[in-house]
Amino acid sequence: MNFFDKFLTPLSAQHIVLLHFMLMLIFSLFIPFVGLITGGSFFSYFFYKKGKRENSPDYIRFSKEIIEIVKINKSMGVVLGFITLLTSILIYIQLLSLSEITSIIYLIISLFVIIAGLLLTYNSFTSKFGFIFLLISIWIFVAGITIPIYKNIITPNDSIINIMFSSIVIFKFITVLLLSGVFTGSTILFIYFYWNGGRNNINDKYALFIKHFAIRLTFSSIIILPLFLFVDLVKIPNDALSVSVFVYSSLAIAVIFVTYHFLYIMSREKNSNFSLQIFVSAILIIILFVIKDQISFDNATELRTVEMSSLYSINMDKLTGANKAPKISGEDIYKNICSSCHSFDHKVVGPPYKQTLPKYKGNVDKLVVFILHPTQNNPGYPPMPNPGLKPDQAKAVATYILNEVKKYE
């Protein structure tokens, strides 16, 4: 138990699903915003210094315009940069309260760092320190959301240096930076060449410079994203993988290749304007990345979900008086439900327990996860249907059959 367990109530499985869905929505807002303002602040500072050095009014003008674009306004900065991250922290506290606190600490630190970065960015025309703080906040944020998924690579007990400089955190950090580049470039195209009919107070030379810069930025950021998706699928632990992870990764790759097409046409044909399509594609790519990672997070914490929902059922039974009901019998559940397909020592419909249960090594919780969410592990047998048991019933029958199978060893 950690500090937060004293203040939190276990949730039902339905509530946990809702929290994961909320995280998808929150990160679909937070990641584009923090990526945009980080990328915008960097290029604003870059072009301002370059303009001063080369005495170029166009560079200085673009520097001022780009920072005004990405800032939006202070209210949106508070909502998209502060409230979204704070809300996600509260959700992570609830979802991870039964395990460890390291991930939550990283997210809390990232919140304070991003506040500093936003204050510096919003209160200064060009601030390299604002960009640095925003960059560090993204790095820490990525570490926080990576720890619960990649438990085979990093553990909560690792040092800060080992976690922050681990291969998977650096890999995920670069992925977010690439997505930031895609969204920053596509937003510049959208604002200058589509929004309200495009900007009319710019000459052809200036417009061509902006167009070429934004297309190059978007294309150079998006070009290797399919490779990063593939490597990510290879690195994801088995307990975090599922068909849905592959599906959303494939959809992201499909959208990326469509975006290649739009960027190519817009760069080759002078009068073509696919800025809206590129902008929408960039948003969709980020959303697909977010969904993929959240499904992985959900899969990786499935055992924790079972633990919380079991405690929820116990607490509800105490509140409603249902705990006075007869004790659940794992043996009765086996005889009434499981025995129609399984036996301990011979094949019925499914394989005998003496062949399948040894791999669980007496781990009741791991077997409970399979009973509640069965998957086909042996192609020689039909897939097991969901028996429709509650978490406490699944735990009772799992305990019974794990104890009973020892007689057949």
DSSP assignment string, 356-387? HGGGGTT-HHHHHHHHHS-----TTSPPPPP-
User: CATH number for the 326-408 domain, one of 3.10.180.10, 3.40.50.300, 2.60.120.380, 1.10.760.10?
Assistant: 1.10.760.10
370's tokens: 């399979």
pLDDT of residue 33: 95
The dihedral region occupied by 59, where left means phi > 0, alpha psi between -120 and 50, and beta the remainder, is alpha
Q: ∠373-379-245 over CA atoms, to 5°?
A: 50
In a structure prediction context, what are the per-residue pLDDT tens digits for the chain, which is 409 residues long?
Answer: 445 555 566 677 788 889 999 999 999 999 999 999 999 999 999 999 999 999 999 999 999 999 888 887 888 888 999 999 999 999 998 888 655 678 899 999 999 999 999 998 888 766 688 889 999 999 999 999 999 898 778 876 788 899 999 999 999 999 999 999 999 999 999 999 998 887 877 888 999 999 999 999 999 999 999 999 999 999 998 888 889 999 999 999 999 999 999 999 998 887 778 999 999 999 999 999 999 999 999 888 877 777 777 667 666 666 665 545 456 788 888 888 888 888 888 888 888 888 888 887 788 888 888 888 787 677 777 888 888 888 888 888 888 888 888 887 7
Q: What's the token pair of residue 387? A: 């028996």
Return the CA Rg of the chain.
26
Task: Give the DSSP per-residue string, 161-209.
Answer: HHHHTSHHHHHHHHHHHHHHHHHHHHHHHHHHHTGGG---SS-HHHHHH
Q: Give the Cα separation of 125 and 378 in Å (integer).
A: 62
pLDDT of residue 113: 96
Per-position DSSP letters for 2-14, written without gaps between them: -GGGGT-----HH
**What CA–CA distance (Å, rounded) separates 45 from 34?**
17
How far apart, in whole angstroms, are the C-alpha atoms of residue 321 and residue 306? 22
Domain ranges (residues) in the chain = 3-304, 326-408
User: 148 and 305 in contact (C-beta within 8 Å)?
Assistant: no
From residue 175, alpha-carbon distances to 139, 278, 285, 314, 409 in Å are: 11, 19, 12, 42, 49
